[in-house]
Amino acid sequence: MVKKFFVLIILVFFAVMLLPFAQDVTPFKELSQTATKYVKDGPDELGGANLVTSVIVTYRGLDTLGEVTVLFIATAGVGFFLRREDKRKEKKKRESSQILQSGSAFLFPLILMFGVYIFLHGHLSPGGGFQGGVVLASALVLLLLSRSATKINDTVLHLVESLSGASYIAIGVLGLVLVVGVGFLDTTILDLGEFGRLLSAGAIPLIYSFIGLKVGAELVGIIDNMRKDQS
Amino acid sequence: MTIITILGFILVLIGLWGMLTQKNIIKIIIGFSIVDTGVHLIMVSIGNLKDRTAPILDKAVDKTEALTRVVDPIPSALVLTAIVIGLAVTALMLSYAIKLYENKGTLDISEFKELKW
Amino acid sequence: MITAIIIVLGVIMIVAAVLAVIQKSLLSAIIAAGAISLLASIIFIILAAPDVAMTEAAIGSGLTTLVFLFTLNKIRKQDRHG
């Protein structure tokens, strides 16, 4: 009973602490100064139509690098904890029905193509590397769930993930090395092109493709580790 | 909008209540996920300006009039990062929970007393 | 009109959150948490943030629910095998 009273006190205290914030928040009328600079200079400097993408990849590129690192650490942690040393006897898995097999075989390439479309057009329409990577991972999860006998090739998964991550850093370093005067992870090293086309906005489609592949491979790795030795 | 900010705060409070009172470890992790969703709602609702549209330049919004017709793009960028990191942290927490269950055989948090003094 | 939609969605989200905390069965709690993420993605569209809505719909109500269900499976399996 005392414990419930303490919990109530903590919650009331938290609510009272947040109350002035909820009372005084008035909707802004104009964009803030940082946002004004990003919205005004973004399309001209970087050539991308999606302003959120140009903020994520270029203006706040170091935050994206940190996020990719955190995702990598989480995947490594899950793989480390759920590791199986001994090979338990592999039970004979029951074959799934014909409808599941043909349905998933039909849907898998469509979903894969949709995922690749999302991260290739990240600078033109809503989307980008993270969303495309999640859709790629969900295509592979569809195969894992509907056909119980699939095995994911671990070597290919690790290879894809490491090469994508290394290429992302390599493009960033290219910005430092190639053109003197621009810094790490500058996307204007490639040609800016015409506004609104697929091959525009410098290195943004390239960076987002690598991020999409890396995120997709990592999420499939997490799900595969959680699923091991199930019958 | 203000009403969505208040909704976000209520979700944070409900998630916090869940984390403080529940005994099952999986329920605590569900409460953490609810707090995450509430915080994302608060952040995106602050960046929203009245009667403006999404920050994508196409036929509807031109390059020249973008300053007066577009919502703040920075909170969207931050929340995108935060959602992906939230998923990674939740997966790591759940793998901890699996290992704890393998070690002790129960998921009740009052059984794990090794660190108490 | 939009305010009415937001209020209806908000009430459903709060009810689902309370259910997710109170329910005894873990399966119902996990599904309720997935429903909260789905409704949050609709509210993100109303707030004119389509990238965030896409990400939240895919990750929050897709992959998070999936990871929770895999965990539940591992726990129950070991429970049955002793």
pLDDT tens for each residue of B49-108: 887 888 888 777 777 777 778 888 889 999 999 999 999 999 999 999 988 888 888 888
- Judge whether B25 lies within some domain: yes
The arithmetic mean of pLDDT across residues C14-25, rounded, is: 92
pLDDT at C8: 94
Taking 70 as the threshold, does the pLDDT of residue A18 lie above it? Answer: yes
pLDDT tens for residues A130-185? 999 999 999 998 888 888 777 788 888 889 989 998 998 888 888 777 766 566 76
Taking 90 as the threshold, does the pLDDT of residue A3 lie above it? Answer: no
DSSP secondary structure, C26-58, as one string: HHHHHHHHHHHHHHHHHHHHHTT-HHHHHHHHH
**Which residue on chain C is closest to A125 by alpha carbon?**
C51
Predicted TM-score (pTM) of the model is 0.89
Q: Which domain holds residue B54?
A: 2-111
Among A56-60, A64-68, B67-71, C28-32, top mean pLDDT goes to C28-32
- In terms of pLDDT, which residue wins out, A70 or A185? A70
**Which residue on chain B is closest to A37 by alpha carbon?**
B67
Q: How far is B4 from chain A (nearest CA, A)?
A: 10
Chain-centroid distance of CA B110 in Å reads 26
Q: How far is B76 from chain A (nearest CA, A)?
A: 7
- Judge whether B116 lies within some domain: no
- In terms of pLDDT, which residue wins out, B117 or C75? C75
Q: Which domain holds residue C53?
A: 2-81
pLDDT at A92: 64
Q: How far is B95 from chain C (nearest CA, A)?
A: 8
- Judge whether B87 lies within some domain: yes
**Which residue on chain B is closest to A77 by alpha carbon?**
B92
pLDDT at C82: 46
Taking 50 as the threshold, does the pLDDT of residue A231 lie above it? Answer: no
Chain C CB contacts of A223 below 8 Å: 63, 66-67, 70
Taking 80 as the threshold, does the pLDDT of residue A76 lie above it? Answer: yes
Taking 70 as the threshold, does the pLDDT of residue C59 lie above it? Answer: yes
Backbone φ and ψ for A31, nearest 5 degrees, come out as -70, 150
Task: Give chain A's mean pLDDT.
Answer: 82
Beta-carbon separation of B88 and A70 below 8 A: yes
Among B57-61, B111-115, C64-68, top mean pLDDT goes to C64-68
Q: Burial level of A28, CB count in 10 A (0-12/13-18/19+)?
A: middle
pLDDT at A179: 65
Which of A40, A215, A225 is nearest residue B67 as measured by Cβ atoms? A40
For residues A87 and A62, what is the distance between their CA atoms, to the nearest angstrom? 41
Q: How many structural domains comprise chain B?
A: 1
ipTM: 0.89
- Judge whether B101 lies within some domain: yes
Confidence of residue A93 (pLDDT cuts 50, 70, 90): low
Contacts of B28 (CB under 8 A, 6+ apart): B18, B19, B22, B109
Contacts of A51 (CB under 8 A, 6+ apart): A38, A39, A42, A43, B55, B56, B57, B66, B70, B73
Interior CA angle at C53 toward A224 and B59, to 5°? 125
Q: How many structural domains comprise chain C?
A: 1
CATH of the domain at B107: 1.10.287.3510
